[in-house]
């Protein structure tokens, strides 16, 4: 073994002479002593330099935008803005359609004008009847939502890498996150008894009634996230239950005040501090 090792190192370190000779005078112009070890070292260093140069060109030049699966911050922000704008336009279009249908019913005599306080109140009371869908349409909408709910997974903040946040309810945001006024969440208007969904998978750590917020449910999620759902009508889960993201956990309750509309108060906490849910969930 020792002889083989010595022979190997002698062979790899044995130097060869590379000479450049003048053809007319046979004078040696340049002579270079090279071994196999030196040649291998030069080759590895050259490969490393080429790799570093190529990586620097990709990272610091616009060529990185042509890599498959890469999306720069500007395109990502535009995608999120377009998604929010499309959702708002859809909600406005649905409400306009219900408004037109209410006017048509009043003019046709199906609804007596004396019994209507306002068009908005009639829209809220008859919302399910006015937007009733066929079975085929319901199945199409369900399949489309299941397919499209993963299209915005690029929306990630610090500590939320790899997490897919679901929207708790399909509603319009009425009050934004404002910790200065001790409002540590967002208010989402929704129909009474609408199903509330868990934004992430996790474990129920609290489910009960409070005098201030009504029925409340809290869920512990991975990566030190806690979601809180207040103003619930009834709870579908108990403490200790395991839930998946997008699973129903409660129902939206009625409005507490007469001047207020039914809504869900949703909070998101990370490592013991309240965070803005709009940075993690696309409402």
Q: What is the pLDDT of residues 79-98, one digit of tens each?
A: 778 888 888 888 888 878 87
Instruction: Return d(Cα 107, Cα 134) in angstroms, integer.
Output: 26
| Coil/strand/helix, residue 237 | coil
Q: What is the pLDDT of residue 255?
A: 67
* Confidence bin at 257 (pLDDT 50/70/90): low
Q: What is the pLDDT of residue 228?
A: 96
- Domain ranges for the chain, please list them: 2-64, 161-283
Instruction: Return d(Cα 98, Cα 92) in angstroms, integer.
Output: 10
Beta-carbon neighbour count of residue 169 at 10 Å?
Answer: 19
Instruction: Return d(Cα 208, Cα 9) in angstroms, integer.
Output: 76
Higher confidence at residue 157 or residue 243? 243
Q: Is 161-283 in CATH node 2.70.70.10?
A: yes
- State the DSSP code for 178: B
Provide the percentage of residues in the chain whose pLDDT is more than 90: 31
Q: What tens digit of pLDDT does each residue of 147-189 get?
A: 555 444 444 455 667 788 999 998 888 899 999 999 999 999 8
pLDDT at 143 over 90: no
| Coil/strand/helix, residue 67 | coil
In this structure, are residues 198 and 165 in contact, taking their beta carbons and an 8 Å threshold? Answer: no
**Mean pLDDT for all residues in the chain:** 80
- Tell me the DSSP string of 199-223: SS-EEEEEEEEETTTEEEEEEEEGG
Q: What is the pLDDT of residue 150?
A: 46
* Paired tokens of 106: 């009043």
Strand partners, 232: 215, 252
| Coil/strand/helix, residue 3 | helix
The predicted model scores a pTM of 0.46
> Helix 36-60 vs helix 2-13: angle between axes, to the nearest 10 degrees?
70
* Confidence bin at 260 (pLDDT 50/70/90): confident
Beta-carbon neighbour count of residue 231 at 10 Å?
Answer: 24
Q: What is the pLDDT of residue 124?
A: 56
Average of per-residue pLDDT across 51-63: 83
Q: What is the pLDDT of residue 256?
A: 64
Strand partners, 234: 251
Instruction: Return d(Cα 16, Cα 28) in angstroms, integer.
Output: 15
Higher confidence at residue 247 or residue 257? 247
| Coil/strand/helix, residue 31 | strand
* Paired tokens of 191: 């129909």
* Confidence bin at 204 (pLDDT 50/70/90): very high
| Coil/strand/helix, residue 243 | strand
Which residues have a Cβ under 8 Å from the Cβ of 44 and sit 6 or more positions away? none
Instruction: Return d(Cα 67, Cα 234) in angstroms, integer.
Output: 49
In this structure, are residues 282 and 155 in contact, taking their beta carbons and an 8 Å threshold? Answer: yes
Q: What is the pLDDT of residue 196?
A: 93
Length of the chain: 283
Beta-carbon neighbour count of residue 56 at 10 Å?
Answer: 10
């Amino acid at each position: 073994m020792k002889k083989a090792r010595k022979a190997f190192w002698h062979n790899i370190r044995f130097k060869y002479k590379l000479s450049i000779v003048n053809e007319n005078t046979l004078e040696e112009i340049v002579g270079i002593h090279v071994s196999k070890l030196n040649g291998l070292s030069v080759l590895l260093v050259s490969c490393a330099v080429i790799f570093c140069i190529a990586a620097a060109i990709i990272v610091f030049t616009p060529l990185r935008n042509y890599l498959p699966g890469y999306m720069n911050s500007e395109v990502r922000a535009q995608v999120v803005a377009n998604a929010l704008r499309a959702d708002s336009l859809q909600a406005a279009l649905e409400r306009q359609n219900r408004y037109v249908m209410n006017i048509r019913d009043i003019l046709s005599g199906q609804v007596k004008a004396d019994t209507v306080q306002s068009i908005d109140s009639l829209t809220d009371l008859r919302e399910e009847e006015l937007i009733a869908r066929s079975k085929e349409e319901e199945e199409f909408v369900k399949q489309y939502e299941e397919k499209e709910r993963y299209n915005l997974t690029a929306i990630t903040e610090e500590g939320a890498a790899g997490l897919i946040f679901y929207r708790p309810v399909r509603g319009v945001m009425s009050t934004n996150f404002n910790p200065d006024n001790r409002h540590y969440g967002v208010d989402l208007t929704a129909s009474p008894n609408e199903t509330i969904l868990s934004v992430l998978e996790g474990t129920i750590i609290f489910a009960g009634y409070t005098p201030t917020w009504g029925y409340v449910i809290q869920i512990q999620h991975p990566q030190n996230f806690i979601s809180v759902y207040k103003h619930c009508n009834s709870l579908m889960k108990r403490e200790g239950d395991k839930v998946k993201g997008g699973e129903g956990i409660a129902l939206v309750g009625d409005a507490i005040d007469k001047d207020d509309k039914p809504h869900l108060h949703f909070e998101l906490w990370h490592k013991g501090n309240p965070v803005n849910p709009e940075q993690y969930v696309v409402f």
